[in-house]
Amino acid sequence: MDSVLDLGYIPIGSYAAFDLGMGFSANWELVGLPDRSKDLPSDGFEGILIFADTYEGARAWIEQLTTLMPQTPVNLLVTEQALPMLMPYFDSEQVTGIVSGLNDAAILEAEFSGGNQTAARWWAYQAGVILLIMVMVIGAIYAGNQHEEEGEE
């Protein structure tokens, strides 16, 4: 990767993605329209990395970019809550790669930096997940008992 282009703040996901995609794929232009894409590289991007905390935000960009710029690899860096709904885009090969959640962060850290930022969070994360499972099991048992008692009454 020779250079990284910061496009600044781009409002409204799907419109912006459509605009970006059309900037490379459209072979027509309206006479006299102010040039919006003058900062974009003339030969397109080597790849696009989408940062997103929600499924909807990432999907809007994936849908537009993979349609209008199918030759450009699209990669995702998303939160774990967005991952399950975005996996089909990876399976269908519309998205080249996904990094999401603590597990992926640990793998990347081990591969590139060798630090221990994720290790500090790992034990707390495991404890939190175990706690959730316990709360769910206790909740299910308690709710079941309560349901039976209401039925008897």
Which listed range, 41-49, 59-67, 107-115, 145-153, lies at the site for another protein (CB under 8 A)? Answer: 59-67
If the CB atoms of residues 32 and 151 are measured against another protein, the closer one turns out to be 32
Q: Rule CB under 8 A: choose which of 108, 110, 124, 130 binds another protein.
A: 124
CB of 149 to another protein, least distance (A): 26
Helix (H) or strand (E) holding 120: helix 117-152
The backbone torsions φ and ψ at residue 102, rounded to the nearest 5 degrees and listed phi first, read: -70, -35
9 binds another protein (CB under 8 A): yes
Closest CA to 61 of 79, 74, 80: 74
Residues 12-51 that bind another protein (CB under 8 A): 14-15, 17-18, 30-34, 36
CB of 81 to another protein, least distance (A): 4
Alpha-helical segments (H) within 7-116: 13-25, 55-68, 83-91, 101-108
Q: Rule CB under 8 A: choose which of 2, 43, 93, 153 binds another protein.
A: 93
CB of 146 to another protein, least distance (A): 22
Which listed range, 44-52, 73-81, 108-116, 140-148, lies at the site for another protein (CB under 8 A)? Answer: 73-81
Helix (H) or strand (E) holding 75: strand 74-78
Return the half-sphere exposure (C-beta side, CA atoms, 13 A cut-off) of residue 152: 6
CA dist., res. 5 & res. 37, Å (int) = 13
Which listed range, 43-51, 74-82, 108-116, 137-145, lies at the site for another protein (CB under 8 A)? Answer: 74-82
Total chain residues near another protein (CB under 8 A): 42
How many other C-beta atoms can be found within 10 angstroms of the C-beta atom of residue 140? 10
